[in-house]
């Protein structure tokens, strides 16, 4: 027996032998492969309609949401103690009855907060739990913690809070009179609006009230917090912003952010309602978990979710507009009163975006816009799909309709005369040049494909013959800016791992909420590496993998995260290309990755073999990627600059019928032409367009939020708050894409599609206003949104205001 077999090898000697074997394998692979017939190439992943990556699991009930995560032994459940008074002094909390109930472990109040008693929001104006004052019905005063969720909820209702009622402000008009604001008013001016109005050929003064909207996500607000070793915490949260959850929980517990890990595999809908306000759930659950040293889950039931969380901001408008005989606007003064609720939350940037989008698609030369951020004793209103954009656009579209009726002109003609130009009339009121304008040809194409003129003639004939059922139609455009207006949020990171079997895992800072973000990211990464879509897996958003990620919001989820993932995949691909170039004696740029093959002028190898070869040569098979949006800048003090990387355009033509006896209405036909650039996934994009439109239709027709005189939200369940159903979808619902890539260098040449389609539904509201006008020839249309049957009857003069 030889000596080397009698003596065990050292660890270093074993490693040397493994390297020698790997090098031998590399030497074998270094020879160019024979010119063989390659397998059929794989189809490109991006640009094709791929199934949503979770679709099969979701229809099988196998997709895991926070409430599906197996609960650890000893998990406790929390339920909120809510204020029943809109505004008052909190004098005491009597928990005796609750503590005596079965299964109750205790309560959590403001005195149990180990860190800052105020939430870690940018305005730092909202208490974690109410302390000496309550400011809306539904404000959380504390928690009851029990063995089961129902024990906690029943006990929470037995807590008695002593509150001395104070006068409450429940209306923006009262807030304006009292100068009650969560943030200072903002004014944006260009030119001389007063002078332009004084010399205008025609002037109109008008008001408009537009209600808020409940997010009504299918999965309610929920957080599950698990204590870890050494004062570390694991948070499962249904959130659009894991990074902010991490910051808020650390802030409330008085610890560093690195001690808090937040994970979110998916959420069952967000629509903006889980951008900041999922943070409260996580903070409350974390404080309870710390106090009781047990895992704690907090899941709001639907009624409490309505009462606790904020909505889309209601707006009230007052405007004076001057215009020419042709309908072109010459001057505009517009005041927006924003109902922000009791704290700032995201009201500042929401109100800013409403100011930015008060032009929609139209050039406003002499304009003055005032934005009042009103404090009321209601829930703190928050982000909602469109983020103030819909509230900015709806008023200018109403003004266009009013001008057309005042002058007896065709509304589409008035809209067309006010569009932004190319090379002239192309700078917004916030000093951003509109460089990618496709408004005129897009409107023309939809006008033609929807048979707009022919249908308007038919509607006119119908209305002349029908005394009860009136019809209306409107074709309205959308120009929506894409980027976070807060420039610092326009950044993203991602990780791409390639395994030795050729499979790939990608992780990024965005969250999957049904919109198909993970699917699109996987498509982009698959094409960057030249492999099959099925070989790429997106994993849960996790603050321990990608830190400091921005919220998945502002329609920028794919723009940011898919680009970051693409860069990460490109780093890995470039390393593989360098390896193959060295083996085949060519430049790295001559190496191609496509169809599961890695090809050079010398031949082709399967991607999997190249990966194994790279591993054998100790080449890094993972990488990070980082992306920040170029070109953007913005002065928050003056609301000027280039806040948006590009604009997303679209238009919708909608026809409605209205019963003048009952006020009921129905959407009959919808034709949409949407600018999505090069669509990464057409099926997903069509779903986003259809869903966004229907959600916007609900906001403007049926979804009415009603607070009573005491400040109680009385529409807090599906029985009283009506979202659209399948029966509300028109039989004719046609969606087409504008056939042009993004003119800016965006991932795959695509454009954002999450929010812009919601504003296409303004065509529904304008069509209803046209139908009301047909029922009352020569009368001014005063229809507030939502256009419920009751509001329609008021507009028809059948009910008192």
* Sheet of 367-374, strands arranged across: 186-190, 367-374, 329-339, 315-323, 202-210
DSSP states of 655-666: EEEEETTT--EE
DSSP H helices, 347-474, are 347-356, 389-407, 411-417, 439-449, 452-465
Burial bucket for residue 568 (CB in 10 Å: 0-12, 13-18, 19+): buried
Does 755 qualify as catalytic in the annotation?
A: yes
* Sheet of 732-737, strands arranged across: 469-482, 646-659, 665-674, 732-737
CA distances from 620 to 497, 561, 575, 596 (A): 9, 22, 8, 19
SS3 498: strand
- In whole angstroms, give the CA distance from residue 323 to residue 345: 37
> In this structure, are residues 332 and 319 in contact, taking their beta carbons and an 8 Å threshold?
yes
State the sign of the Cα–Cα–Cα–Cα dihedral 268, 274, 277, 282.
positive
Output DSSP code: residue 385: T
Give the residue among 313, 750, 705, 380 at the shortest CA–CA distance from 563. 750
Output DSSP code: residue 565: H
SS3 653: strand
Tokens of 532: 């099959």
- In whole angstroms, give the CA distance from residue 179 to residue 269: 36
- In whole angstroms, give the CA distance from residue 698 to residue 785: 10
> Do the strands 646-659 and 665-674 form a parallel or antiparallel pair, or are they unpaired?
antiparallel
Q: What share of the chain is helix, strand, coil (3-state, %, to 5)?
A: 35, 25, 40
Give the residue among 326, 7, 168 at the shortest CA–CA distance from 707. 168
Active-site annotation holder among 53, 755, 766, 790: 755
Give the residue among 487, 394, 421, 265 at the shortest CA–CA distance from 763. 394
DSSP states of 11-74: HHHHHHHHHHHHHHHHHHHHSPPP--PPPPPPPPSTTS-PPPTTHHHHHTT----GGGSPPPTT
SS3 215: coil
* Sheet of 592-594, strands arranged across: 592-594, 597-600, 603-606
Phi first, then psi, for residue 461 (nearest 5°) are -65, -40
Output DSSP code: residue 748: G
Place of tokens 């160019």: 32
Strand partners, 372: 337
Phi first, then psi, for residue 11 (nearest 5°) are -60, -40
> In this structure, are residues 602 and 611 in contact, taking their beta carbons and an 8 Å threshold?
no
- In whole angstroms, give the CA distance from residue 738 to residue 732: 19
> In this structure, are residues 614 and 433 in contact, taking their beta carbons and an 8 Å threshold?
no
Place of tokens 């170029």: 630
Tokens of 645: 């990387």
Quick one: how far is CA 358 from the chain centroid? 20
- In whole angstroms, give the CA distance from residue 265 to residue 64: 8
- In whole angstroms, give the CA distance from residue 622 to residue 365: 52
- In whole angstroms, give the CA distance from residue 180 to residue 373: 8
- In whole angstroms, give the CA distance from residue 774 to residue 739: 36
> In this structure, are residues 239 and 282 in contact, taking their beta carbons and an 8 Å threshold?
yes
Indicate which residues carry an active-site annotation.
Answer: 755
């Amino acid at each position: 027996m030889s000596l080397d077999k009698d003596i065990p090898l050292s660890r270093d000697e074993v490693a040397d032998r493994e390297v020698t074997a790997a090098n031998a394998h590399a030497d074998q692979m270094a020879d160019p492969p024979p010119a063989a017939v390659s397998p059929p190439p794989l189809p490109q992943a991006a640009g094709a309609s791929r199934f949503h990556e979770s679709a099969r699991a979701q229809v099988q009930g196998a997709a895991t949401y926070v409430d599906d995560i197996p609960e650890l032994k000893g998990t406790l459940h929390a339920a909120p103690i809510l204020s029943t008074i809109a505004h008052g002094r909190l004098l005491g909390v009597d928990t005796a009855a609750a503590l005596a109930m079965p299964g109750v472990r205790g309560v959590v109040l403001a005195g149990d907060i180990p860190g800052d008693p105020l939430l870690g929001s940018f305005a730092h104006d909202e208490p974690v739990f109410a302390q000496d004052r309550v400011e809306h019905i539904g404000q959380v005063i504390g928690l009851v913690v029990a063995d089961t969720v129902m024990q906690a909820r029943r006990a929470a209702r037995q807590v008695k809070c002593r509150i001395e009622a104070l006068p409450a402000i429940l209306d923006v008009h009262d807030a304006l009179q009292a100068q009650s604001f969560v943030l200072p008013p903002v004014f944006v001016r260009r030119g001389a609006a007063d002078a332009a109005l004084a010399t205008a050929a025609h002037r109109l003064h008008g008001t408009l009230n537009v209600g808020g909207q409940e997010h009504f996500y299918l999965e309610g607000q929920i957080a599950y917090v698990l204590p870890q070793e050494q004062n570390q915490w694991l948070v499962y949260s249904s959130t659009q912003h894991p990074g902010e959850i991490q910051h808020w929980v650390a802030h409330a517990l008085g610890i560093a952010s690195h001690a808090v890990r937040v994970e979110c595999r998916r959420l069952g809908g967000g629509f903006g309602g889980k951008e900041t306000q999922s943070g409260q759930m996580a903070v409350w659950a974390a404080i309870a978990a710390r106090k009781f040293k047990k895992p704690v889950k907090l899941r709001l039931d639907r009624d409490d979710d309505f009462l606790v969380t904020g909505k889309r901001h209601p707006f009230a408008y007052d405007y004076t507009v001057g215009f020419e005989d042709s309908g072109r606007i010459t001057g505009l003064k517009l005041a927006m009163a924003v109902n922000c609720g009791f704290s700032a939350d995201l009201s500042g940037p929401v109100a800013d975006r409403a100011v930015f989008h008060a032009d929609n698609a139209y050039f406003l030369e002499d304009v003055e816009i005032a934005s009042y951020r009103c404090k009321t004793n209601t829930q703190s209103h928050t982000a909602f799909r469109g983020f103030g954009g819909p509230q900015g656009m709806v008023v200018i579209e109403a003004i266009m309709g009013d001008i057309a009726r005042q002058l007896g002109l065709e509304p589409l003609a008035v809209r067309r005369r006010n569009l932004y130009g190319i090379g002239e009339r192309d700078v917004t009121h916030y000093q951003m040049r509109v460089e990618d304008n496709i408004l005129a040809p897009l409107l023309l194409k939809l006008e033609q494909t929807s048979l707009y003129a022919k249908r308007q003639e038919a509607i006119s004939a119908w209305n002349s013959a029908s005394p009860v059922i009136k019809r209306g139609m409107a074709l309205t455009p959308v120009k929506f800016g894409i980027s976070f207006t807060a420039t610092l949020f326009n950044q993203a990171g991602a990780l791409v791992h390639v395994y030795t079997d050729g499979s790939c895992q990608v992780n990024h800072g965005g969250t999957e909420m049904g919109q198909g973000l993970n699917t699109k990211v996987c498509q982009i990464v698959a094409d960057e590496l030249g492999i099959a879509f099925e070989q790429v897996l997106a994993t849960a958003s996790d603050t321990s993998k990608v830190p400091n990620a921005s919220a998945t919001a502002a329609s920028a989820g794919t723009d940011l995260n898919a680009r970051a993932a693409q860069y990460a995949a490109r780093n890995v691909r470039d390393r593989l290309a360098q390896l193959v170039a060295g083996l085949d004696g060519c430049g790295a740029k001559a190496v191609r990755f496509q169809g599961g093959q890695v090809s050079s002028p010398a031949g082709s190898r399967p991607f999997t073999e190249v990966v194994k070869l790279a591993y054998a040569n100790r080449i890094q098979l993972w990488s990070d990627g980082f992306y920040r949006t170029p070109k953007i800048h913005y002065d928050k003090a003056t609301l000027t600059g280039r806040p948006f990387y590009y604009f997303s355009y679209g238009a919708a033509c909608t026809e409605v019928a209205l019963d003048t006896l009952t006020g009921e209405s129905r959407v009959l036909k919808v034709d949409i032409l949407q600018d999505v650039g090069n669509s990464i996934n057409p099926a997903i994009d069509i779903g986003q367009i259809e869903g966004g439109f229907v959600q916007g239709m609900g906001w403007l027709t049926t979804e009415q939020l009603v607070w009573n005189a005491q400040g109680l939200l009385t529409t807090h369940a599906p029985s009283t708050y009506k979202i659209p159903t399948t029966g509300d979808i028109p039989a004719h619902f046609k969606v087409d894409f504008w056939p042009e890539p993004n003119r800016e260098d965006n991932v795959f040449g695509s454009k954002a599609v999450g929010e812009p389609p919601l504003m296409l539904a303004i065509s529904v509201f304008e069509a209803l206003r046209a139908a009301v006008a047909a029922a009352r020839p020569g009368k001014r249309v005063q229809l507030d949104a939502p256009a419920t049957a009751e509001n329609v009857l008021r507009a028809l003069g059948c009910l008192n205001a």
